[in-house]
Amino acid sequence: GAVVSQHPSRVICKSGTSVKIECRSLDFQATTMFWYRQFPKQSLMLMATSNEGSKATYEQGVEKDKFLINHASLTLSTLTVTSAHPEDSSFYICSASPPRTYTYEQYFGPGTRLTVT
Amino acid sequence: EDQVTQSPEALRLQEGESSSLNCSYTVSGLRGLFWYRQDPGKGPEFLFTLYSAGEEKEKERLKATLTKKESFLHITAPKPEDSATYLCAVRRATGGFKTIFGAGTRLFVKA
């Protein structure tokens, strides 16, 4: 099956610093990756769609200058949380879809738990 | 507006007690309906994709069905290891890749 990895799995940072989270598709090329945020006992909230070689598409209400997304290759997308604040503490999950035209399922990474102190 | 509603929010079963989870959806043209399993502190794990009304898919103790307005995830003779949150999601036929997720059903299976 399709495997997506994320790094780091957990990170603690101080308020005002920036944190980078990596998302990799290990056994397939992904022209599109997705970044989600999940609060405790709530569902996934799509933050942005990351497109290889072009700018990410952000969902309404998501600050593009705060959550920087870079999709530099067909297997790597990064999310940088800039000037992090305690309210940015959350579980961040990325996903990708294998490049087949007839299926649309997403494969998720294991998630990154961000804690801002 | 596109919407996915899952019920119940939580379900407690005894081991071997079969039941169903519901996912009601409204979407302007369905491209696919997905079921995922999510364990605490982990990313969702893909289970099924359903594309059209009447379609059914099975995997071990799980069976997913689809109508024009809802989907059911039937769990037959569940075991404690089936305890997890089950997420339903839909992708519409237009509007790009966006997938809309329901809030999930937390399933607890007691031995």
Write out pLDDT tens, residues B25-35.
998 888 899 99
Residue whose tokens read 């404690």:
B80
How confident is residue A103, by pLDDT bands cut at 50, 70 and 90?
A: low
pLDDT, mean of residues A39-67:
90
pLDDT interval class at A40 (50, 70, 90):
confident
Interface of A with B (CB under 8 A): 1, 4, 6, 32, 34, 41-44, 46, 49, 57, 91, 93, 95, 97, 103-111, 113
3-state secondary structure of B105: strand
Q: How much is the average pLDDT of B53-57?
A: 96
What totals of helices (H) and strands (E) does chain B contain, helices first?
0, 11
**Mean pLDDT of all residues in A9-35:** 94
CA atoms of B67 and B59, how far apart (whole Å): 19
Extended beta strands in A39-75, E state: 44-51, 57-58, 67-73
If you average pLDDT over residues B82-103, what whole number do you get? 88
Asked if B43 and A104 come within 8 Å (Cβ–Cβ), the reply is no
Q: Could A106 and B43 be called an inter-chain contact, meaning their C-beta atoms sit closer than 8 Å?
A: no
Q: Residue A26 in 3-state DSSP?
A: coil
Does residue A109 register a pLDDT over 70? yes
* Integer Cα distance of A48 and A57 in angstroms: 5
Closest listed residue to residue B2, CA positions, set B110, B104, B111, B99: B99
Instruction: Quickly tell me which residue has 């997938």 as its tokens.
Output: B99
